[in-house]
Amino acid sequence: DVKVTQSSRYLVKRTGEKVFLECVQDMDHENMFWYRQDPGLGLRLIYFSYDVKMKEKGDIPEGYSVSREKKERFSLILESASTNQTSMYLCASSLLAGATNTGELFFGEGSRLTVL
Amino acid sequence: AQSVSQHNHHVILSEAASLELGCNYSYGGTVNLFWYVQYPGQHLQLLLKYFSGDPLVKGIKGFEAEFIKSKFSFNLRKPSVQWSDTAEYFCAVRGYSTLTFGKGTMLLVSP
CB A43 to CB B94 under 8 A?
A: no
Burial (CB < 10 A; 0-12, 13-18, 19+), residue B102, is buried
Task: Give the closest-approach CA distance of B14 to chain A in angstroms.
Answer: 23
Residue A22 neighbours by CB distance under 10 Å: 15
Does A105 lie at the interface with B, CB-CB under 8 angstroms?
yes
CB A102 to CB B90 under 8 A?
A: no
For residue A115, what pLDDT is reported? 97
User: Which of B99, B100, B101 to probe by mutation at the A interface, max A CB count within 10 Å?
Assistant: B99
For B73, the 3-state DSSP assignment is: strand
Most confident segment among A48-52, B5-9, B77-81, B98-102: B77-81
Contact by Cβ (8 Å): B107, B11: yes
| pLDDT, tens digit, 9 for 90 and up, residues A80-91 | 999 999 999 999
The rounded percent of chain B whose pLDDT value lies above 90 is 77
Confidence band (pLDDT; 50, 70, 90) for B94? confident
Residue B110 neighbours by CB distance under 10 Å: 11
The rounded percent of chain A whose pLDDT value lies above 70 is 93
For residue B62, what pLDDT is reported? 95
The parts of chain A modelled with pLDDT lower than 70 are 1-2, 97-102
Does A47 lie at the interface with B, CB-CB under 8 angstroms?
no
